[in-house]
A and B are shown apart, each in its own frame.
Chain A
């Protein structure tokens, strides 16, 4: 096993091209090191992409651009997520109680893992795009299209995620995150993110609801039925309960961590919690 730490993208792409499927790109290294025993046989080259200048948050052309190797702590501490429409990204990071992991794990890694982490759920609710780079150039995929299943995504051999882009939500948009876990320092068992634009008279003009961790698909999903139940209506507790109920109908995974039935209940609860937070946030805009 070789270790490379390229300092420009071209060099990184060349290495990834040379080693093909036996190369693993690494930034925070939490996933690679956490799974090093299983990965030991298949990995020939570890390509560290941390020194490619991909650690940044900036608002550009109406999009929040987050470099792939930006740590969760970096997102949490940015002024861009301190208040306003992008605050949800800091809130999402805060849901992970482990400071040491927030200091190491990167948004690119979370996007690629997708299953048992929080950030992809939020990115999905916020219609994020994933910028993918390789020696052939760059391409952009929506979160919806990026994920194919647990640890399975649209990346081709030689490609890496280099940036995540989030379109700036319209004014009056609030975000909320709901989560269930077994202890305060755990993998998420269920998470949910709600993005909601509140119009006049408390009517939900635009609603996005994403559910993660619990899904049978192994990756976050948008819950169209729940979104539809709310969109264009005046938001009150009864409507929130109705949307949560609809979200609970998604296919949930059943395993020793929690039954599908419990997860379905928690999906309802998490969506309800997230929606209430989103409404509160939309009202204050803070």
Chain B
């Protein structure tokens, strides 16, 4: 069911494009100083695990210009609920006690200072005397799980209870198989690495009321976390979330924001805490590092009969995730299956969600195992996937909805896939890369030219289009007297164009132009509650509320017009800013005229407010489909890998704004290609310190490094998504590493885990 659209489906310019190209868009670090505002700096731990033996802040406090020094001794640091207990907020992302006398990774907070300027705050840090007693630390996940391993932090176990999903009878399943494939993969340590460094300004405008300004994708989560942490009512906390200069899962509710808040309280002044690049890279969060064991049972004809996955995820010091938000565990339909996740703590930088989360790391493992299975039965990897991959209506055994329904209501619902264009994605991708010509068979490179060997690989993935338990979505649309509108939403702005595409949905429903709509966002007092903007929920879930609010406004407009036109509201339609009788377009009234026209009874013109606040039916799960194809060239002389061609085919349902979505796909490819090759936080084996804390050595992919991707959208109309749309923003990263590893393997015959460095290629090709 597709309907004709006038706004949806067009590459309309971003509504904040003007602010971006003129430098007028304000990220948190760009906000003007408040009167009496001071600046924060933090003293950080040089040890991976240590207890503070001695701490003297006297000299720092005495320094001219210093307004507050915060340490674990301050009574305001954490509440009963968080001190000494596991912090169970779903953002899995901050520290527990705000500052403690036990530091658990290199870079952990020891003390915080606010002062008249940054130079003075830095000076004050140098005046703090601190002695540590080093404690045993553990950096390796499997070591951390052993009995007798050093305890990572002063509360909780080193690893969480496993999240287990099982269906069918796994042992019987493997017995039915002709071959069993067993494989283990790992990946590196990726950092979100947004270009912006972020800042947080905290200001107590009265004893009882706190205002926070920061860049975050999680407006209401941050507010709620602050309320919970400091035992405040939402009435007392107002959060202004500015757009992020990239986030990718980094800027939710982070410890540094809480520190700004506590310093502001103690200093009795507004405090701004602006992070340095090193702090962004090494003290906030990173992607979980995985170790994954896969077991697949396959029949001689290429039918998968059983699959089992065991996925360890490194939570670092304060991550607390027990389930990595995977969908890909269900990607291949098998009668029997078992999937297990275990979150493990280590004395390394906290880890947590990053774009693509579990589906990137698990897809890497599964897709490699799928290739091994296809090789075992000597099938073309594309054919093998076409045979086994899921279809519309398949039951989802491992969805997070299952976990949360169980956690919250102790029920185990049946959840089904709403739509899948995966088969078409695979076929289209194979065509665009030239698979027929380039795939020469297992252990046959596509081409060999001197020391250069080319290979091709393909990989699939999928990802959620939001999760219902992220909360209700509220949207308000106010129609102005000239027919323009203000759409108020709590959606986060981090470059995904969510404000633009939500406005496009409203404009489509309301028959106006995109430029007629202003989007108001980022204010927890003004905006209705909108789910945290993550998990690619914007288009599939938030937009349902946007559509409902627009329809609410439309209904009121039509009622009003019905009076003016002496017609039935059901017979009216709006298009091009005009309301008219269906079938006789000449009988109508302009929206502006309608909205500015006084109503006789009140001698006043009307104001229309459309609104919606709604949850989402969780039993129908819309997932995006991704098929990536890669052609890579390995130079056996230099051991360098070059990406020759990259094809990304996506089914995200209807594409609401193609240019926005192409940018998302391209960006996901670049980020994941970075992860494949040069993006890897290197931890010192001895100390656990990060050796490459900046862009000098944490190498992002630049404009000269990779080819532009070839992008194609398979637009399968999703019955549940607004105008048939599903999510896109996160899944774009998920299949890339597996496709690259497969292409490299096809070129040189060796599987290499990311980061695929020249060193590893050399080790694989040139022994001794």
Contact = CB atoms under 8 A, between A and B. Distances in A.
A109 B696 CA distance: 18
A180 B638 contact: yes
A275 B704 CA distance: 25
Given A183-B700, A183-B704, A266-B638, 4 more contacts: A183-B705, A256-B697, A262-B639, A269-B638
Contacts of A266: 638, 758
A97 to B, nearest CB: 6
17 contacts: A97-B704, A180-B638, A182-B678, A182-B699, A183-B699, A183-B700, A184-B704, A184-B705, A185-B702, A257-B697, A258-B757, A262-B759, A262-B762, A265-B639, A265-B766, A269-B637, A269-B638
Given A183-B678, A266-B638, A256 B691 contact: yes
Nearest to A270: B638
A262 B758 contact: yes
List the 8 shortest-distance A-B pairs measured between CB atoms, nearest first.
A184-B704, A256-B682, A183-B699, A262-B759, A256-B691, A185-B702, A182-B699, A259-B759
B692 interface: yes
B227 interface: no
Nearest to A116: B696
A184 B677 CA distance: 13
B389 interface: no
Nearest to B692: A256
B325 to A, nearest CB: 30
A101 B143 CA distance: 45
Main secondary structure of the interface of B (DSSP, over half): loop
Contacts of A183: 678, 699-702, 704-705
A183 B674 CA distance: 10
Interface in B393-435: none
Interface in B126-143: none
Interface residues of A, number: 17
A196 to B, nearest CB: 22
A164 B66 CA distance: 48
Given A258-B758, A262-B759, A185 B692 contact: no
Interface in A164-193: 180, 182-187
Interface in A42-74: none
A186 B759 contact: no
Contacts of B699: 182-183, 186
Contacts of B702: 183-185
A185 B695 CA distance: 10
A185 B704 CA distance: 8
Nearest to A269: B638
Nearest to B704: A184
A269 B701 CA distance: 23
Given A183-B705, A184-B705, A265 B762 contact: yes
A257 B640 CA distance: 14
A261 interface: yes
A40 to B, nearest CB: 8
A262 B757 CA distance: 10
Nearest to B690: A256
Contacts of B678: 182-183
Contacts of B701: 183
For A97, A185, A186, A262, which residue has the most chain B Cβ atoms within 10 angstroms?
Answer: A262
Contacts of B638: 180, 265-266, 269
A221 to B, nearest CB: 21
Interface in A92-112: 97
Contacts of A258: 757-759
Interface string B268-284: 00000000000000000
Contacts of A269: 637-638
Interface in B742-768: 757-759, 762, 766
Nearest to A266: B638
Contacts of A185: 702, 704
Contacts of B640: 180
A262 B705 CA distance: 20
Interface in B616-641: 637-640
A190 to B, nearest CB: 10
Nearest to B768: A261
Given A262-B762, A269-B637, A187 B691 contact: no
Interface string B694-737: 00110111101100000000000000000000000000000000
Contacts of B691: 256
Contacts of B704: 97, 183-185
A265 B759 CA distance: 10
Contacts of A257: 697
Contacts of B700: 183
A118 to B, nearest CB: 16
B403 to A, nearest CB: 38
Interface string B657-700: 00000000000000000000010001000000001100011011
Contacts of B758: 258, 262, 266
B593 to A, nearest CB: 54
A187 B704 CA distance: 15
B39 to A, nearest CB: 15
A97 B702 CA distance: 11
A240 B699 CA distance: 32
Interface in A8-35: none
A208 B297 CA distance: 61
Interface in B227-255: none
Interface string B55-86: 00000000000000000000000000000000
A183 B757 CA distance: 12
For B700, B701, B757, which residue has the most chain A Cβ atoms within 10 angstroms?
Answer: B757
Nearest to B278: A37
Contacts of B639: 262, 265
Nearest to B702: A185
A261 B692 contact: no
A187 B696 contact: yes
A189 to B, nearest CB: 9
A260 B766 CA distance: 14
Interface in B86-128: none
B596 to A, nearest CB: 53
A185 B638 CA distance: 18
A84 B700 CA distance: 37
Interface in A222-265: 256-259, 261-262, 265
A47 to B, nearest CB: 21
A182 B702 CA distance: 11
B682 A261 contact: no
A183 B697 CA distance: 10
A182 B674 CA distance: 11
Contacts of A256: 682, 691-692, 697
B626 to A, nearest CB: 25
A256 B698 CA distance: 11
Contacts of A262: 639, 758-759, 762
A261 B691 CA distance: 20
Interface string A178-221: 00101111110000000000000000000000000000000000
A184 B692 CA distance: 18
A74 B479 CA distance: 59
A126 to B, nearest CB: 26
A265 B763 CA distance: 12
A131 B108 CA distance: 48
A187 B173 CA distance: 53
For A183, A186, A258, which residue has the most chain B Cβ atoms within 10 angstroms?
Answer: A183
A269 B639 CA distance: 10
B691 to A, nearest CB: 5
Contacts of B682: 256
Contacts of B637: 269
Contacts of A187: 696
A261 B705 contact: no
A221 B99 CA distance: 49
Nearest to A181: B699
A266 B757 CA distance: 13
